Amino acid sequence: MSVEQTTLVFGLGVAGMAVANALHERGETVILADDEATKQHEDFARALNCEFIDATDETAVVGTLKRITRLAPAPGISESHHVVSTARQMGLTISSELELAYNIEELRIGG
């Protein structure tokens, strides 16, 4: 996993926020998205100094997908969701939180 990744973390429940924090701490560029633009999501994005997009805005989603190298959907996000299906059609890497955790651990000294 490269520090030069730009990851769209889609779905900002507990797992999505944990993934965003972990990637941000590694120095990666993180963009956040959710189907619901809540004050909590916007505050979280501000705290990480990350961009937040409303995933119901398909134009914004497509524009964002053109700028990223990887999509990290939260557990439970359907593969048929327009964010995931569009990312797949564009040939983007789609990584679960487990894959990301494994890759981070693999890079750790002694990992």
pLDDT for 110 beyond 80: no
Q: Which H helix or E strand runs over 31?
A: strand 29-34
Residue 47 lies in a domain: yes
Q: Which H helix or E strand runs over 19?
A: helix 14-25
Spatial separation of the C-alpha atoms in residues 63 and 86, rounded to whole Å: 11
- Higher per-residue confidence, 102 vs 61: 61
Residue 1 lies in a domain: no
- The residues, ordered by sequence, that sit 6+ positions from 92 with a Cβ below 8 Å of its Cβ are 65, 68, 69, 70, 71
Instruction: State the pLDDT at residue 102.
Output: 78
Amino acid at 33: A
- Higher per-residue confidence, 96 vs 34: 34
pLDDT for 24 beyond 90: yes
Residue 102 lies in a domain: yes
Q: What is the CATH number of the domain that holds 55?
A: 3.40.50.720
Residue 51 lies in a domain: yes
Residue owning tokens 């999501």? 41
* pLDDT tens column, 29-62: 999 999 999 999 999 999 999 999 999 999 999 9
| DSSP conformational letter for 52 | E
